[in-house]
Structure formats: C-alpha cells, structure tokens
C-alpha cells in the first residue's frame, strides 16, 4: 500500500505553495519553458506517483492467455472456441458485491431522490421474488435474504445487468467524492438532493459546486486564481464498471501462480490446479484438507452435504470471504454466484473479437455540447428509454387482453398514444419535450385509482436511462466521423455479425434495421443478451470452469447471478514496487 500512502500525502495546494516558495522550476524537455510558472502562462505539471488503489479492489496484472474451452463442450454449442488473447492490467473487486453494499446504495438513492423521483429508488430494488419456485418453499429468502443482517455479507442477487451498471456508476461518484473530501477540497454534504448531488462528469464539466470547502486548487494561469481538480491531476479514479468477459475469465484462472519466467507451466480447468474440487494440501497443518474449494452443487439434490460434515457449509449462497482465494487474491471465482460481465452474447464472439482486450458491446457516445461548444447543462429530470417503454406497454396490453376493465383499457390506450408522441419528439432531437411527455404519463397513472397502476409505474420505472444530475450524452454520428478509419457508426454490437445475408431477410438487401437480433422477437440471442460467467451455488462443477459462458436478457435476474466491479488500470501494468525492473533500469544507467 506504499503508493496509496504516497498519494495521500500529495496535496495540490502544497505543491503550488512549494513552487512559489522559490524552488527550482522544472523545464519542458520539448521547449525549455518552465512548468508551473505563472510568468510564462502557467502550464502545469502536477506531482503524480501511480494510480491509487480504489476501495475493495485488487490489481490483476495482465498478460496473454488462452481464452475458451479447456474441457468437453457438454452443450455442443461451439461458443467457447480456444484462442490466445491479451488482457491489460486492471483492478477487480476482491469479493462479490454484498447485500449490505447494496443497502448502502439504496439508502443513498432514497435520501437523495425519493421525495421527488421515487421511481429511481424503485428501479434499483433487487427482485427478491427470484427466490420463488412453484415446487419449493423459498419464501424465507424472499422476505429476509436482502435485508436481514444475517445475510449482510452474502452476495446480492436478483440484480439485472442494467442495475449492476447503475451501481458501478454510483460507486464511481461516491469514491471520487470522498477522495476530494480527503484532499480538503470538499466537505461532507448530506443535503444533496435530486440533480444537486456529486457526479464526477458534472464536476469535471464545472457543473457541480455544492459541498465545496474551498474554491479549488491554485491555478498557475495568470488570469485565474483557482480551478477545479482535472483529470490531468491524477487525483480522481477511473470509472468502476463491470469486467469484460475476457478480463473476468483471465482473473478467475489466476495463472499468475503457474508462471515460470514466460511460461505457463500448467493450464487450469478451474481457478485452482488439478481436476479435483477439494483441498488436497496438508500445508499449514492441513486445516482445510478435504474441504470443498467453492460453493456449488455436488450432485443431484446435494447442495450442502450431510449434517455434521457439510461439504461447502452453504445451502444457497455463502459469505463472500468464504473458501480460499485464487492466486490473485480474488474470492469465489468458482461458485457462490455466477457473475455479470460487460459483453453482449454472440456464439461466435471468440472468433470475431480482437485478440487485444477483446470485447463485444461497444456503443460509442460523446457529451452533448451547446452552441458555445461547451458541455450542455446536466439533466434536471429523469430520462427514459422511450422505445423500451413502448415495447413494455405493447406487451402489457397484450397480456391484459380480455382481462382489463374498460377504464384500464382506456388508460393503456392513452399511455400508448402518449409514448408515440414522446418517440416522435425524441426522434426530432427534442429530448426535453419527450421526457416531459413521459412524466405526464407517470402523473396520469398516479392520478388514477386502478389496480394496474402500481404495475405500470413499476414497469415504466425500469426503463430509466439517466438520472437528474447526470451529464447529457448522445451516440456519435456517422457525419462527425467522416474521416475516421477505425469506426464511423456509434453502435458496433453487430460488427462482423448480424448481416442481412445471414438472416431471413436475405432476399431483401435493402432491409433496414437489425436483421438477426431484434429485441423482443423470437430469438433469445439479441443485442440485449448479456454474458454471465462462472458457477453458482445451484450449478454443477462443470460451470466452475472460467471458460464456460451463458447469457440472459439484460433486464432479467435470477437467484444465482450476482456481480463484482472492475476498474481500468492506467499507466504501467505493474505499478509501484517492481524491484526487478527498477534494478534493470539502474544497471542500464
């Protein structure tokens, strides 16, 4: 943790004071001009050591590995074709996100948004009903698993892919906010409400001022006195996010422990060596000898073993620090819960994706600028996916066919008409008008006293895309990328896939739209099918191999899927403390 302590001792205010006290200016190696000298314009170079280790994260040193099948393809789907790829170093959560972490998230949302935007809190609620089964008594988990303190250190479940991403974005802002408080720039500000809450992008765009303790750090620009922290200062951390499929698989194997020089001397089927699933080492007194290495289903009907000698000591999930971690120090990379990753599922992704940092799912976006060329004001309302709401209301109407009362049927028709207007506004770049139309729909539902109203409010709340306080972003356009060679369009999910010739529309080359992967149509594989990895407490050992992959719609959740966060590593792959490379550099000097 040496580099963390060093970073904590670095305050930009102190740096500025030190320079002004008469110390020798550092000069540019390109121009010879002084850095941090207000006399010559004040171009600044701040002190920087290495990226700080974010809360809960472990550095996973990157490298090449063979991604894909290491055992028989039992399902014969041929979607795990082995291939050598390279993964850059990154950070990953030591454990899965727990129920208690999620309750902290819910508490914050309730405190900040519940008074005016209860739908934001509603969207974040895990689906506790995922525990129900037609032929099992699981009601105690429905009632207690999320909120009872007995389960606070167990992995959260019932969270879909979109909710997991929302949590990652929220965590980014809370971590960066506390860093600014630690650096003496902000105070604790518990009165944040609606759009007036700390958001990293909004702060960097100069659109958040509440809670400041001081005006900022010293600005060496002779025309300014202070400024906000910038990305160039290296103080703020990159975004928390879901790991990519390649990152998760690489981290789960933990082949760092099987590397001698540049050779991986033994491949792994699981996150440990060997074909067996019990601890086979008598080291350290043999305290764990014979114990199961993870939480998974041993055989038909056997989830926990025999009383007096429980094999994994868990009937469903287990506390997140259970079992022995892998060689990166990551817990439960085989068993407990399966985990969401970022990728969109395609059977042939292993063949199609790049061999450097492979990933399918890129939708390139950019910040919305105003007529002056600066970032447009952040959202002050909830932003919805209007196309998603149209899909939901259409399906809701079909489901209620023949069962809805005349008043209920009339309300659904009103909502469908209103959402069509919202879509029209959105397509003509009148987003504020479109969102106001959706808000009118919500108010209309709240004004009715019908049985379907709570269902409609809950369903529509699931289609939020942005919250008040978020910076406005949009998809990039082909017109602004005319001279680019690496990409033109925003949505690249179907790149090298989904072509018209391979679809049922092969006779119509002029077909517009997604030819193969239409959302909400018959295929289970579409642009909203997301990959999840690893075994859960209800899976056989086959799924504990990191190479296995499954998929589920991004809006669906189960009692067996959780997640953990990741973060991009910027700068050197190894970080501080690499004595071997330091000695080599000293020898060259």
* 8 A C-beta contact, residue 345 and residue 531: yes
Give the angle subtended at the CA of 322 by the CAs of 320 and 323, to the nearest 5°: 135
Q: Which letter does DSSP use for residue 501 in this model?
A: G
**Residue 49's pLDDT is what?**
86
Distance CA 486, CA 477 (A): 14
Structure-token match 């642009």, residue found: 527
Pairing of strands 529-533, 57-60: unpaired
Distance CA 443, CA 166 (A): 25
User: Residue 185 falls within a domain, yes or no?
Assistant: no
What is the helix, strand, coil percentage profile of the chain, to 5? Answer: 30, 15, 55
**Residue 554's pLDDT is what?**
94
Instruction: Look up the pTM and report it.
Output: 0.91
Residue by residue, what is the 3-state secondary structure of 527-547?
A: CCEEEEECCCCCCCHHHHCCC
Distance CA 374, CA 361 (A): 28
User: Residue 332 falls within a domain, yes or no?
Assistant: no
And the tokens for 139? 């009601």
Positive or negative: CA dihedral 490, 494, 497, 502 = negative
User: Residue 46 falls within a domain, yes or no?
Assistant: yes
User: Would you tell me the crossing angle of helices 453-461 and 431-446 to the nearest 10 degrees?
Assistant: 150
User: Residue 417 falls within a domain, yes or no?
Assistant: yes
* 8 A C-beta contact, residue 331 and residue 322: yes
Pairing of strands 338-344, 561-562: parallel
Residue 228: how many other CB atoms lie within 10 Å: 18
User: Residue 397 falls within a domain, yes or no?
Assistant: yes
**Residue 170's pLDDT is what?**
98
Distance CA 108, CA 113 (A): 8
Closest CA to 527 of 562, 563, 491: 491
And the tokens for 186? 């902000």
Distance CA 292, CA 277 (A): 6
* 8 A C-beta contact, residue 324 and residue 294: no
User: Residue 336 falls within a domain, yes or no?
Assistant: no
Among 466, 483, 502, residue at a domain's last position: 466
**Side-chain half-sphere of 392: how many Cα atoms within 13 Å?**
19
And the tokens for 346? 């395609």
User: Residue 72 falls within a domain, yes or no?
Assistant: no
User: Residue 424 falls within a domain, yes or no?
Assistant: yes
And the tokens for 510? 């002029």
Among 466, 483, 503, residue at a domain's last position: 466
Torsion angle defined by CA atoms of residues 490, 494, 499 and 505, in that order, rounded to the nearest 10 degrees: -90
Q: Give the Å distances, CA to CA, from 280 to 70, 272, 287, 470.
A: 22, 11, 11, 51
Torsion angle defined by CA atoms of residues 243, 531, 315 and 128, in that order, rounded to the nearest 10 degrees: 90
**pLDDT tens for the chain, residues 1 to 589:** 444 444 344 444 444 444 444 458 899 999 999 999 999 999 999 888 889 999 999 999 999 999 988 888 877 788 889 999 999 999 999 999 999 999 999 999 999 999 999 999 999 999 999 999 999 999 999 999 999 999 999 999 999 999 999 999 999 999 999 999 999 999 999 999 999 999 999 999 999 999 899 999 999 999 999 999 999 999 999 999 999 999 999 999 999 888 888 888 788 888 988 888 887 776 655 567 778 889 999 888 889 888 888 888 899 999 999 998 999 999 999 999 999 999 999 988 888 899 999 999 999 999 999 988 899 999 999 999 999 999 999 999 999 998 999 999 999 999 999 999 999 999 988 888 999 999 999 999 989 999 999 999 999 999 999 999 999 999 999 999 999 999 999 999 988 887 777 777 777 777 766 667 765 555 678 888 999 999 999 999 999 999 999 999 999 999 999 999 999 999 988 866 555 555 554 554 4
Distance CA 295, CA 203 (A): 42
* 8 A C-beta contact, residue 556 and residue 360: no
**Residue 429's pLDDT is what?**
84
Query: How many separate domains does the chain show?
Result: 2
Distance CA 342, CA 164 (A): 10
DSSP-assigned letters across all residues of 53-79: --TTEEEE--EEEEES-SS--TT----
Among 438, 466, 494, residue at a domain's last position: 466
Structural domain including 436 reads 383-466
């Amino acid at each position: 943790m040496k580099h963390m302590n060093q970073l904590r001792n670095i305050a930009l205010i102190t740096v500025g004071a030190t320079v002004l006290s008469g110390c020798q200016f550092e000069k540019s190696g390109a121009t010879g001009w002084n850095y941090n000298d207000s006399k010559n314009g004040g171009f600044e170079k701040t002190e920087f050591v290495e990226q700080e280790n974010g809360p809960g994260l472990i550095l996973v040193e990157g490298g090449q590995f063979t991604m894909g099948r290491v055992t028989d393809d039992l399902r014969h789907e041929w979607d795990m074709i082995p291939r050598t790829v390279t993964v850059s170093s990154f950070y990953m959560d030591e454990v899965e996100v727990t129920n208690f972490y999620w309750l902290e998230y819910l508490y914050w949302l309730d405190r900040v948004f519940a008074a005016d935007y209860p739908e934001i809190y509603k969207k974040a609620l895990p689906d506790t009903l995922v525990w129900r089964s037609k032929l099992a008594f699981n009601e105690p988990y429905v009632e207690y698993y999320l909120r009872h303190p007995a389960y606070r250190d167990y992995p959260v479940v019932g969270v879909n892919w979109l909710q997991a991403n929302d949590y990652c974005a929220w965590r980014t802002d809370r971590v960066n906010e506390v860093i600014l408080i630690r650096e003496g720039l902000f105070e604790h500000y518990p009165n944040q409400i609606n759009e007036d809450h700390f958001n990293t992008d909004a702060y960097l765009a100069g659109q958040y001022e509440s809670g400041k303790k001081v005006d900022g750090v010293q600005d060496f620009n002779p025309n300014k006195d202070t400024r906000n922290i910038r990305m160039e200062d290296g103080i703020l951390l990159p975004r928390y996010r879901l790991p990519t499929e390649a990152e998760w698989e690489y981290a789960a194997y933990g082949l760092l422990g099987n590397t001698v020089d540049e050779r991986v001397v033994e491949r792994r089927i699981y996150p440990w060596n060997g074909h067996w699933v019990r601890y086979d080492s008598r080291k350290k007194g043999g305290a764990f000898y014979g114990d199961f290495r993870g939480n998974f289903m041993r055989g038909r009907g056997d989830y926990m073993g025999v009383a007096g000698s429980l094999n994994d000591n868990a009937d469903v999930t287990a506390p997140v620090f259970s079992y022995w971690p892998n060689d990166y120090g990551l817990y439960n990379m085989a068993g407990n819960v399966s985990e969401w990753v970022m990728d969109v599922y395609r059977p042939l992704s292993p063949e199609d994706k790049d061999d450097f940092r492979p990933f399918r799912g890129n939708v390139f976006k950019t910040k919305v600028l105003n007529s002056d060329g600066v970032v447009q004001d952040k959202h002050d309302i909830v932003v919805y996916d209007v196309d998603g709401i149209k899909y939901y209301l259409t399906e809701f109407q079909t489901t209620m066919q023949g069962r809805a009362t005349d008043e209920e049927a009339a309300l659904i028709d009103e909502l469908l008409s209103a959402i069509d207007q919202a879509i029209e506004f959105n397509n003509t770049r009148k987003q504020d008008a479109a969102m106001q139309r959706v808000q009118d729909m919500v108010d209309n539902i709240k004004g009715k006293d019908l049985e379907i109203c709570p269902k409609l409010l809950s369903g529509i709340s699931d289609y939020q895309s942005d919250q008040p306080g978020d910076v406005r972003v949009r998809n990039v356009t082909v017109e602004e990328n005319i001279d680019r060679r690496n990409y033109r369009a925003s949505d690249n999910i179907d790149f090298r896939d989904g072509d018209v010739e391979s679809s049922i529309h092969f006779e119509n080359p002029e077909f517009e739209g997604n030819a193969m992967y239409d959302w909400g149509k018959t295929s289970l594989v579409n642009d909203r099918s997301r990959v999840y990895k690893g075994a859960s407490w209800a899976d056989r050992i086959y799924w504990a191999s990191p190479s296995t992959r499954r998929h589920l719609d991004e809006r669906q959740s189960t009692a067996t899927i959780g997640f953990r966060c990741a973060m991009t590593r910027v700068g050197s792959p190894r970080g501080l403390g690499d004595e071997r490379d330091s000695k080599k550099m000293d020898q060259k000097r």
